[in-house]
Amino acid sequence: MRVLITVGLLATVALGQSVARAETFTVASRQVADEKAVFATVESISVVPARGRIGGTIVALGVREGDSVKRGQVIATIGDEKLGLQIKALDAQIAALQAQSSQAQIDFTRVEGLVERGTLPRVKLDEARTALNVAENGLRARTAERAVVQQQSTEGQVLAPADGRVLRKQVAVGSVVLAGDAVATIAQQDFKLRLRVPERHARFLKAGDKLRVDGAELPGRTAKSGVIDLVYPQIEDGRVIADATVPGLGEYFVGDRLRVWISGGERNAFVIPSRYVSTRFGIDYVTLKQPDRVVAVPVQRGRELPSPDLPDGLEILSGIRVGDNLVQP
């Protein structure tokens, strides 16, 4: 039942003249999204392990749980004493082959001069050239083998496979690892919201739908909106799983639970511009324009529902009906 506030005769006349010139808004019913509250967890797009490329002993570990890492950053070092011994052995062999190559070059130059003077047959020149080629090729082979061992030593550095945050380190300094063992687990930096929605809402959920996160659930107490990217086709434990992107999502806790609002279908609602609502003594009012008078009617305020045609749209739960003409207070 409406409570009518009757104004004085003079005030009615004056107000009626001003209302006649004021802009009016006609109340109409429109379809709005029927939002449902569900819980979602903050999860990484993917969790990747940082693996060692060689076997050995962890001699240095530069990260701990919660640290941010960049792609290619060294997070641990694996040491293998055998690689150092192999490099020393190859250095000695390379030095010997360098001496042989130098001697073969000297012999070739000497034989070449003697052949030109006719002292030695040309077959001796071919033999000296062959010995020089063998010595040079042996030196190149040992140098390449040393480069391989040196590369294996360099691969003892465990690199972060992607930008992200360390969720767990799985080794300690002094641990023995094999080639391919995981040293740390890293969550990629771009976090998403993973929703688990009751299956009765599955028919209303689709990629591209918007959702909003309560401000109380986020740092800074500011509500945020996002978009559902993917709805998984498999139902698990009576729930539909979907991934959503929300800009400015927290970047520390993985697995944090947040309350979000998603569309659970549509319903009819009264949406008016918020500027047509005034508040006096804690009660919200709208001003109705009637043929013979202007009255203030108490209403129950709902949530804000902005739209392209009503940027300041506000839902009214009760107090008005279709066809009412509103004027600004």
Instruction: Determine contact, residues 76/61, Cβ cutoff 8 Å.
Output: yes
Give, for all 329 residues of the chain, the pLDDT tens digit.
Answer: 333 333 333 344 444 444 445 588 888 888 887 777 788 888 877 788 999 888 888 888 888 888 888 998 999 988 877 777 888 888 898 998 899 889 889 888 888 888 888 777 888 888 888 988 998 898 899 899 888 888 777 778 889 988 888 888 888 888 888 888 999 998 887 778 888 888 777 777 788 888 888 766 565 556 677 888 888 888 888 888 888 888 766 555 667 788 888 877 778 888 998 889 999 988 999 999 888 888 899 999 888 888 888 888 888 999 888 888 889 87
Q: State whether 279 and 180 are in the same domain.
A: no
Q: Look at the chain and report how many structural domains it folds into.
A: 4
33, amino acid identity: A
Q: State the Cα–Cα distance between residues 149 and 153, nearest whole angstrom.
A: 6
Q: State whether 68 and 172 are in the same domain.
A: yes
Contacts of 29 (CB under 8 A, 6+ apart): 268, 269, 270, 322
CB-CB neighbours of 240 under 10 Å: 21
Q: Tokens 């918020």 identify what position?
A: 274
What pLDDT was estimated at residue 14?
43
- Residue 140 located in a structural domain: yes
Q: State whether 238 and 260 are in the same domain.
A: yes
What pLDDT was estimated at residue 45?
75
Question: Residue 142 is part of a domain; what is its CATH number?
Answer: 1.10.287
Question: Residue 305 is part of a domain; what is its CATH number?
Answer: 2.40.420.20
- Residue 272 located in a structural domain: yes
Domain that holds residue 113: 81-154
Question: Residue 255 is part of a domain; what is its CATH number?
Answer: 2.40.30.170
What pLDDT was estimated at residue 15?
44
- Residue 2 located in a structural domain: no
Q: State whether 273 and 239 are in the same domain.
A: no
Q: Three-state secondary structure along the chain?
A: CCCCCCCCHHHHHHHHHHHHHCCEEECCEEEEEEEEEEEEEEEECCEEEEECCCCEEEEEECCCCCCEECCCCEEEEEECHHHHHHHHHHHHHHHHHHHHHHHHHHHHHHHHHHHHCCCCCHHHHHHHHHHHHHHHHHHHHHHHHHHHHHHHHHCCEEECCCCEEEEEECCCCCCEECCCCEEEEEEECCEEEEEEEEHHHHHHCCCCCEEEECHHHCCCCCCEEEEEEEEEEEEECCEEEEEEECCCCCCCCCCCEEEEEEEEEEEEEEEEEHHHEEEECCEEEEEEECCCCEEEEEEEEEEECCCCCCCCEEEEEECCCCCCEEECC
Q: State whether 256 and 161 are in the same domain.
A: no
- Residue 230 located in a structural domain: yes
pTM: 0.50
Q: State whether 58 and 166 are in the same domain.
A: yes
User: Which of these, 299, 315, 326, 321, lies nearest to 32 by C-alpha position?
Assistant: 315
Q: State whether 59 and 109 are in the same domain.
A: no
Q: State whether 28 and 41 are in the same domain.
A: no
What pLDDT was estimated at residue 299?
92
> Rg for the chain (alpha carbons), in Å?
40
Q: State whether 210 and 308 are in the same domain.
A: no
Q: State whether 164 and 215 are in the same domain.
A: no
**CA distance to 3, 123, 151, 163, per residue, from 63 (Å):** 68, 66, 24, 14
Instruction: Determine contact, residues 132/145, Cβ cutoff 8 Å.
Output: no
Q: State whether 67 and 167 are in the same domain.
A: yes
- Residue 204 located in a structural domain: yes
- Residue 202 located in a structural domain: yes
- Residue 3 located in a structural domain: no
**CA distance to 99, 157, 182, per residue, from 162 (Å):** 47, 15, 14
- Residue 70 located in a structural domain: yes
Q: State the Cα–Cα distance between residues 85 and 77, nearest whole angstrom.
A: 18
